[in-house]
Amino acid sequence: MNLGTLMACAICTWDLTEHRSGGRVRYRHPVSDGGERHAPVPVPASDLTEFRHRCHLCHGDYPVWNYRTNEIGAHFTDGNQHLVRTYNTQWHVCLRCTQFIEAGDSDGLAVHTVTSLRWHRSLSHLEIATIQAVLQTITRSHRGRALLTTTAWPPASIRPEMLPKIRDRLTGLLRGPADLPEALNHPDTRQTLANHLDHVPLYWINDKFTAQVNDVTDEQPPAHITDRITPAPGGFVAWPQPVGRDGLLAAVSWTPQADGWHLVCYRGVGGGLADDLMPVLRHDLGWLVPIHTEHITTDTPVDGRHPVGPLVTTWLLMNQHMAEAVPAQLPKAVIRAHQRRQRPAPDVRLVHLKAPTTTPAEPSVSGTRSRATPDHRYWVTAHPRNQAHGPGRSLRKRIDIEPFLKGPLDAPIRLSTTVRALGKRQHPEPENRPSSD
């Protein structure tokens, strides 16, 4: 399930709030539906040339939380001026406004909002009083908040020594009071994900390997997801820069389940905020937010165009021994912090491409033809093979060969024109029969 798609109005390009009831979804304009405003025309914001996703209170960048309220109605009279307005029940709020709300400071929030929007020069006394009343209601009577996963954060640069703290921020969100997207919000789901993240190995893919993943993922043929290609039953992989077709994927976690795995994809949360807000952002949110979640059953085929394609490509390249994972040397401060909490040292592994072999080729015997070195790389699709075994290697058993990349490491990838049909593979009964060799 995609958690990162922002819906916006095709007419005014403002972001829309999503309201679910009885299996139906309704979209509303932010703040208020009243006045002469048109009906919302919802489209994915990515389909628009430009769109506006800002704090609904001060119009600041990078809203973080979605505060929920009961429907707010305002009815004010001031001399000849009469104002009646109905407001939304969801409010996308930036980190600056969040601090006022969490402190219960509605007056400070009103000053910040009116000053930021420079409304104090154009609004009447009645309109300012209305704004103050609405902000007071949000501050004092909100019904909780949920993490926004649709904000277009700048990418984060992730280094291996950061992974233990990144993991702790994720488990903090999973165990915290704030709501998450519906697909992740069930208490059992949250607890299971947090408990597994506490103990899984943390893989950091180095820059060269990440570039390789970006180069070849689009052409990766379907690979059937089994424990033969995963480097561990559960784990967490992070890349130093975003990967994937949309350039958003920063990390993926996979958690084992009875019939497969629960995968969660994350985008990075970079900078972009004022210096005084960055420590708050890192403490409350961390470096990652979920943008996709999916249960993948064992033996499901996944190709490079799938949202988790970069993860599967990474697994395949590790599986064919193109790369190796070595324990990271973590700062002593990280180790001591875990010891103080009586936690085991974090299992962080650095994954890098193996150095190419430099053994010179033997000269060919006169009159024989040597195979030319390919001038490109290409994917070999999954296929079965009859493996020799038994006495004198006279018997055969069928084994499945996973997709693998062939060709020199520094050669360009050859683009495929193959039409791929995804489906479950058939597993015929293996036959033990004498070899005809």
- 221-240 confidence digits (pLDDT tens): 999 999 999 999 999 999 99
Q: Average pLDDT, stretch 249-273?
A: 96
Last residue of a domain, one of 112, 147, 182: 147
- The least confident of 152-156, 199-203, 261-265, 353-357 is 353-357
Per residue in 26-74, pLDDT tens?
999 998 866 557 899 999 999 999 999 999 999 999 999 999 999 888 7
Last residue of a domain, one of 353, 373, 408: 353
Does residue 293 sit in the same domain as residue 323?
yes
Q: What distance in Å separates the CA atoms of residue 248 and residue 89, rounded to the nearest whole number? A: 30
Q: Average pLDDT, stretch 289-295?
A: 97
The CA-based angle 401-406-410, given to 5 degrees, is: 150
pTM confidence score: 0.85
| CA distances to 172, 279, 280, 281 from 276, in Å | 22, 7, 8, 10
32 has which bridge partners?
Answer: 87
Does residue 87 sit in the same domain as residue 222?
no
pLDDT at position 413: 60
pLDDT at position 206: 96
35: left (phi over 0), alpha (psi -120 to 50) or beta: left
- DSSP category for residue 257: E
pLDDT at position 79: 66
Is 393 within the bounds of a domain?
A: no
Mean pLDDT of the chain: 86
pLDDT at position 377: 74
pLDDT exceeds cutoff 50 at 220: yes
Is 122 within the bounds of a domain?
A: yes
pLDDT at position 431: 45
Does residue 112 sit in the same domain as residue 198?
no
Last residue of a domain, one of 325, 353, 381: 353
pLDDT at position 81: 67
pLDDT exceeds cutoff 50 at 418: no
Is 402 within the bounds of a domain?
A: no
- The least confident of 162-176, 233-247, 294-308, 356-370 is 356-370
Does residue 134 sit in the same domain as residue 209?
no
Regarding predicted confidence, which is higher, 380 or 24? 24
Does residue 130 sit in the same domain as residue 168?
no
Is 334 within the bounds of a domain?
A: yes
pLDDT at position 373: 66
- State residue 22 phi and psi, 5-degree precision: 60, 35
Does residue 303 sit in the same domain as residue 173?
yes
Going by pLDDT thresholds of 50, 70 and 90, the confidence category of residue 123 is low
Q: What distance in Å separates the CA atoms of residue 247 and residue 350, rounded to the nearest whole number? A: 22
pLDDT exceeds cutoff 80 at 400: no
Does residue 217 sit in the same domain as residue 341?
yes
Q: Average pLDDT, stretch 386-405?
A: 74
pLDDT at position 225: 95
Does residue 345 sit in the same domain as residue 230?
yes
pLDDT at position 143: 93
- The least confident of 92-106, 159-173, 313-327 is 313-327
pLDDT at position 322: 82
Q: Average pLDDT, stretch 154-162?
A: 95
Per residue in 330-383, pLDDT tens?
999 999 999 999 999 999 999 998 876 554 444 444 555 556 666 677 677 876
pLDDT at position 360: 46
Does residue 168 sit in the same domain as residue 58?
no
Regarding predicted confidence, which is higher, 341 or 75? 341
Does residue 90 sit in the same domain as residue 239?
no
Is 403 within the bounds of a domain?
A: no
pLDDT at position 91: 96
pLDDT at position 315: 96
Residue type for position 139: T
- The least confident of 148-157, 179-188, 417-426 is 417-426
Is 387 within the bounds of a domain?
A: no
Give the count of domains, the chain.
Answer: 2
Lookup: tokens for 417? 């024109």
Does residue 35 sit in the same domain as residue 184?
no
Return the percentage of the chain with pLDDT > 70, whole number.
84
Return the percentage of the chain with pLDDT > 90, whole number.
65
pLDDT exceeds cutoff 80 at 421: no
- The least confident of 260-274, 337-351, 422-436 is 422-436
Domain holding 128, by residue range, is 3-147
Q: What distance in Å separates the CA atoms of residue 111 and residue 295, rounded to the nearest whole number? A: 46
Does residue 232 sit in the same domain as residue 108?
no
pLDDT exceeds cutoff 80 at 401: no
Is 371 within the bounds of a domain?
A: no
Is 437 within the bounds of a domain?
A: no
Query: 3-state class of 415 per DSSP?
Result: coil
pLDDT at position 436: 43
Q: Which DSSP string corresponds to 333-388?
A: HHHHHHHHTT-PPP-EEEEEEPPPP-PPPPPPPTT-PPPPPPSSBEEEPPEEEEEE
